[in-house]
A and B are shown apart, each in its own frame.
Chain A
Amino acid sequence: MTDSNWQPAPSLPPPAATVGWIGWVRANLISSFSNSVLTVVLGVAIIYYGWQILDWALFSADFAGVDQKDCESSGACWVFIRSRLDFFIYGFYPNAEIWRINVMFGLLAVLIIPHFFEGFKHKKLFGWLLITAFPVVSGILLLGGILGLEPVETDKWGGLALTLVLAFVGIVAALPLGILLALGRRSDMPIIRGICVCFIELWRGVPLISVLFMASVMLPLFLPEGVNFNKLLRALIGITMFQSAYMAEVVRGGLQAIPKGQYEAAAALGLGYWKSMRLIILPQALKLVIPGIVNTFIGLFKDTTLVLIIGLFEVLQTMNTSITDPAWSNVAVEGYVFAGAVFWVFCYAMSKYSQALERKLHTGHKR
């Protein structure tokens, strides 16, 4: 008897139709009759329209040239974008001084890009530099007037540079203000709480456009004789107030999610209010609401376009001006597609980064 030598037959491979690409197709594209019909119809539509879009954007498009005459084909006129790219990025900034904006872009890239690398040691240092030294250096660079730099009026700022300035200042100013407001709203002191609730609900209840109108029309009335802010500063104040109220609500959500035991434990250790907030509560609360904070940043970045209504030349307005330029005709689609792509890249990158950060910081007690 060879009973002890008995061995099971090797397992058979799974049926070929359930694994590999065949299995994937069967499960995802043709799992039922109606699904198959849908797949075929949509597939044909995608191929047809996808080809038309590719043809417009690449194959029959014009890339080389300098003006309208070089756009003879039926496709997109990317020549227009090329010729207007400088205006789109720098606005009316004097040509000789454009290096200053480039230096700012370079600094920004140097300070931000390392955050995407896992093993980088000095993330904290770079983060602090980004929100302390960088604004000072870029302010000096862009405004000029000292260190032998030619002064440049803020009226001349524009394009992508202006959009980044608005977004950056808005983000850096709105986050701390929002945290303070959120703490105030959860404070035990009724008057402080009342003031914070009124502030938050007031700004959240009105559209940003009316806030900007207010900043541009009413702020000059509120200020004493002789004191006058320029248009950019007024827009910045409006945007910061508005976004800090939204930020406050996001942070409040995080504060509410921290169990009461954490507050009590901090108090039992003898920590005062600010110490317990700084060391115990806020690090946990902010971690919980990172997606919300980044969403607010994305919203702020998109909202910077609204300043064109009070007459600032941010990215979208430079594009509007270029499109209505009589030297070019029928370039609106190209212009808006390009501007949209620029915004899309920034916003999509931010949302992907926040998702990655969320996964990385997901270190337990999330309920």
Chain B
Amino acid sequence: MADQQNTGGVTMPSKPPPWNDPVVRSIVFQIVALILLAWFFWTIFQNTLTNMETRGISTGFAFLNREAGFGILMSLIEYDESHTYGRTFVVGLLNTILVSVLGIIIATILGFVMGVARLSDNWIVARLASIYVETLRNIPLLLQLFFWYTAVLQALPGPRSSLKLSENIYLNNRGLNIPKPIFQDGFEFVWIALLVAIAGIFVLLRWATKRLDETGHTFPVFWTSVGLFIGLPLLVFLIMGLPLNFEVARATRFSLSGGANLIPEFIALLIGLSTYTAAFIAEIVRAGILAVSHGQTEAARSLGLRHGQTLQLIVIPQAMRVIIPPLTSQYLNLTKNSSLAAAIAYPDLVSVFAGTTLNQAGQALEIIGMVMAVYLSLSLGISFLMNLYNKKMALVER
């Protein structure tokens, strides 16, 4: 063979022909893939340009400054018809964030309760929890949203004969009416106190962990944190002279006036999202607790730790390592699922911006692009943080 070289009796392996050389092949293959991809995007780009020209669609983000001219059912910031399309984007985004954050809080609490209940000693409790999980997991979320919205909330009596849930809380087919808090001068100090308390809890946590590592003495972190979280703002609230009033609803002849009204679309979406996601969280929590072997508990007990200490120092930290990664992806799912709001007309990002605004302004490319970018950056951001957390928490082995 031509390229076989004899150097001092050692036979070098023959170099394969280029079409059989893995290195050459992989380079060629990648170049071909790159060319195909570029060609694909170029074609799409050209097609889009021609199509938009023939249909007379302009491009660019100038439409964001035009007047929207439609109302939105619910808005956290000031908004009316005279505001811009750009403002509708912000309104939708804030509504998405509101329902996602509240949904995550409720789903986490309910999910942990259900997950622990599935492992209960009491047969009835365990059965009920597993019926809950199996039912909600296997029915589409969209169907559940329609059920809550159409079959439950729309079927409620009208405002004239509202259901009175408790003093000053009314439920009717226009939504849930609760007392509206009116913050007076000086209430901002309560918010500041709350922030200070949260910062204080972090400092306390670090200090307590350090002390535990160094001296072995435990510190009742949980109860002091709760005390700090509730006590400090309460104290400031009392010092400032109770700067908070409530405006309650009064029954007029035809409906209720005053108070804060939570629209039924919001309630249906919140109930649907949180109960559905809670079923998945319950399974994650159960798997996490089962993943800590019983030997760990027994070892902790034989070291003389009390039941509470065993849970706090041995079981929960190990279970959390298993629970947190899938829990985060459930949070992401909940946020993405909140886009189903479009089906029951809760004014979230997709419903307002990719729905009404798109229909009026007609800038499909820009609007869908913006909406996707929002969700994408949210997902990528959270997965990035998750990976950092995972690296920190992962078991360090040999």
Interface residues of A (CB under 8 A from B): 28-29, 31-32, 35, 38-39, 42-43, 46, 188-192, 195, 201-202, 204-210, 213-214, 217-218, 220-225, 298, 302-303, 305-306, 308-309, 316, 320, 323, 330, 332-333, 335-336, 339-340, 343-344, 347-348, 351
- Distance between Cα atoms of A159 and B271 in the complex (Å): 27
Give Cα A208 to B337, complex, Å: 8
Residues on the A chain within 8 Å of B97, using CB = none
Shortest 6 CB-CB contacts between residues of A and residues of B: A205-B379, A347-B138, A28-B123, A332-B151, A207-B336, A302-B140
On whether the beta carbons of B124 and A192 are closer than 8 Å, the reply is no
Closest to B137 in A: A347
Contact B128 A42 (CB under 8 A): yes
B340 touches A306 (CB 8 A): yes
- Contact status of A343 and B140, CB under 8 A, knowing A189-B26, A201-B380, A220-B51: yes
Select from chain A the residue with minimum beta-carbon distance to B26: A189
State the CA gap A316–B340 with chains docked (Å).
Answer: 14
Q: Are A206 and B358 in contact, with the CB atoms below 8 A?
A: no
List residues of chain B with CB within 8 A of the CB of A214.
368, 372
Contact B121 A31, beta carbon cutoff 8 Å: yes
- Of B30-38, B229-237, B243-251, B315-323, the one contacting chain A is B30-38
Take A207-B350, A214-B372 as given contacts and tell me if A305 and B336 are in contact as well, using a CB distance cutoff of 8 Å: no
**Contact between A28 and B121, CB atoms less than 8 A apart:** yes
Verify if B198 is at the interface (C-beta below 8 Å from A).
Answer: no
Whether a CB of chain A sits under 8 angstroms from the CB of B70 is: no
Given contact pairs A191-B34, A192-B33, A344 touches B135 in the complex (Cβ within 8 A): yes
> Are the CB atoms of B368 and A305 closer together than 8 Å?
no
Contact assessment for B368 and A218 in the assembled complex, using a CB-CB cutoff below 8 Å: yes
Whole-angstrom distance from the CB of A81 to the nearest CB of chain B? Answer: 14
B12 at the interface (CB under 8 A from A): no
Q: Is the CB of A332 within 8 A of B155?
A: yes
A38 touches which one: B122, B141, B151, B379 (CB < 8 A)? B122
Say whether A206 contacts B122, CB under 8 Å. Answer: no
Q: How far is the CB of B369 from chain A (nearest CB, A)?
A: 9
**4 new A-B contacts at CB < 8 Å, known A190-B30, A192-B30, A306-B340:** A28-B123, A210-B368, A222-B51, A344-B135
Q: Which residue of A lies closest to B51 (CB)?
A: A221
Which residues of A sit under 8 angstroms from B134, Cβ to Cβ?
348
B371 at the interface (CB under 8 A from A): yes
Do B29 and A192 have beta carbons less than 8 Å apart?
yes
B contact residues around A32 at 8 Å (CB) = 121
Residue from B44, B124, B140 in contact with A39 in the complex, judged by beta carbons closer than 8 Å:
B124
Question: Across the interface, which residues of A come within 8 angstroms of B147, CB to CB?
Answer: 332-333, 336, 340
Q: How far is the CB of B126 from chain A (nearest CB, A)?
A: 8
- B139 near A340 with CB under 8 A, answer yes
Distance (whole angstroms) from the CB of B19 to the closest CB of chain A:
14
A35, A206, A323: the one within 8 Å of B336 (CB) = A206
- Does B365 lie at the interface of the complex (its beta carbon under 8 Å from any beta carbon of A)? yes
- Measured between beta carbons, the chain B residues less than 8 angstroms from A188 are 26
B-chain residues with CB within 8 Å of residue A209 when the two chains form the complex: 339-340, 342, 350
B199 within 8 A of A: no
Q: Is B125 an interface residue (CB 8 A)?
A: yes
Residue contact A218 to B155, C-beta cutoff 8 Å: no
B342 proximity list for chain A (CB < 8 A): 209, 309
Complex: chain B residue closest to A306, CB-CB: B142
A204 to B155, CA, bound (A): 37
Q: Mind listing 27 A-B residue pairs with CB under 8 Å? A: A28-B123, A29-B122, A29-B124, A32-B121, A39-B122, A42-B124, A192-B30, A209-B342, A210-B350, A210-B371, A213-B350, A220-B51, A221-B48, A221-B51, A221-B365, A305-B143, A309-B342, A316-B143, A332-B155, A336-B146, A336-B147, A336-B150, A340-B143, A340-B147, A343-B143, A344-B139, A348-B134
